[in-house]
A and B are shown apart, each in its own frame.
Chain A
Amino acid sequence: MLKAINLTKSFGNRKVLRGFSITVEPGEIVTLIGVNGAGKTTLLRILSGITSAEIGQVQFNNIPSRDDPSFYRRQIGVVLHAPMLYGNLSARENLRFFSRLYQLPHPEERIDELLQMVNLRSRANDMVRVFSRGMQQRLSIARALLHDPACLLLDEPYTGLDQDSSSVFESLILRAVEDKKMVLLATHDLDKACRTSTRIDLLQQGRIAFTQPRFDVSPEELAETYREITGTQPVKHAAGDAG
Chain B
Amino acid sequence: MKAFLNTVLAIFWKDLLAERRTREILGTMLVFALTVILVFVFAFDLSVDMRSKAAPGVIWVTLCFAGTISLNRSMSLEKDREGFDGLLLAPVDRTAIYFGKALVNWVFMLITAVIVVPVYALFNNINLFSTGFASVILLGTLGYILTGTLLSALSLQLRTRDMLLPVLLFPVVIPLLLSVVRASTILLQGGIQGELSTWLLLLVGYDLLFAAVGLLVFDKIIEE
* A contact residues vs B (CB 8 Å cutoff): 45, 48-52, 69-74, 76, 78, 80, 82-89, 93, 97-98, 100-103, 127-128, 136, 143
Contact = CB atoms under 8 A, between A and B. Distances in A.
A84 B91 contact: no
A72 B82 CA distance: 21
Contacts of A127: 21
B83 A85 contact: yes
Interface in B90-130: 90-93
Given A73-B89, A88-B21, 10 more contacts: A48-B89, A51-B224, A76-B89, A78-B89, A83-B82, A84-B85, A85-B83, A93-B17, A101-B7, A101-B10
Contacts of A84: 81-83, 85-86, 89
B22 interface: yes
Contact of A101 (B18, B21, B87): B87
Given A89-B18, A100-B10, A49 B88 contact: yes
Contact of B22 (A74, A88, A143): A88
B83 A86 contact: yes
A86 B14 contact: yes
What are the 9 closest A-B residue pairs judged by CB atoms, nearest first?
A84-B86, A82-B82, A101-B90, A88-B18, A100-B10, A73-B91, A70-B91, A74-B91, A51-B224
A100 B10 CA distance: 7
A70 B85 contact: no
Nearest to A42: B224
A73 B93 CA distance: 11
Interface of B: 3, 6-7, 10, 13-14, 17-18, 21-22, 77, 80-83, 85-93, 223-224
A82 B14 CA distance: 19
Contacts, number: 80
A243 to B, nearest CB: 15
| B7, B89, B90: most-surrounded residue (chain A CB, <10 A) | B89
A71 B83 CA distance: 21
B208 to A, nearest CB: 26
A136 B91 CA distance: 22
A88 B21 CA distance: 7
A85 B17 contact: no
Contacts of A143: 86
Contact of A80 (B13, B82, B90): B82
30 contacts: A49-B88, A49-B89, A50-B88, A50-B224, A52-B223, A69-B91, A70-B91, A70-B93, A73-B91, A76-B89, A78-B89, A80-B82, A80-B85, A82-B81, A82-B85, A83-B82, A84-B85, A86-B81, A87-B80, A88-B18, A88-B22, A89-B14, A93-B17, A97-B14, A100-B7, A100-B10, A101-B87, A101-B92, A102-B90, A102-B91
Contacts of B82: 80, 82-84
Contacts of A100: 6-7, 10
A200 to B, nearest CB: 26
B47 to A, nearest CB: 47
A51 B13 CA distance: 27
A214 B80 CA distance: 37
A235 B143 CA distance: 53
Nearest to A82: B82
Contacts of B10: 97, 100-101
A136 B82 CA distance: 12
Contact of B89 (A50, A93, A136): A50
B24 to A, nearest CB: 8
B88 A98 contact: no
Contacts of A83: 81-82
| B82, B83, B87, B223: most-surrounded residue (chain A CB, <10 A) | B83
Contacts of A103: 3, 6
A78 B90 CA distance: 10
A69 B21 CA distance: 34
B224 A73 contact: no
B89 A85 contact: no
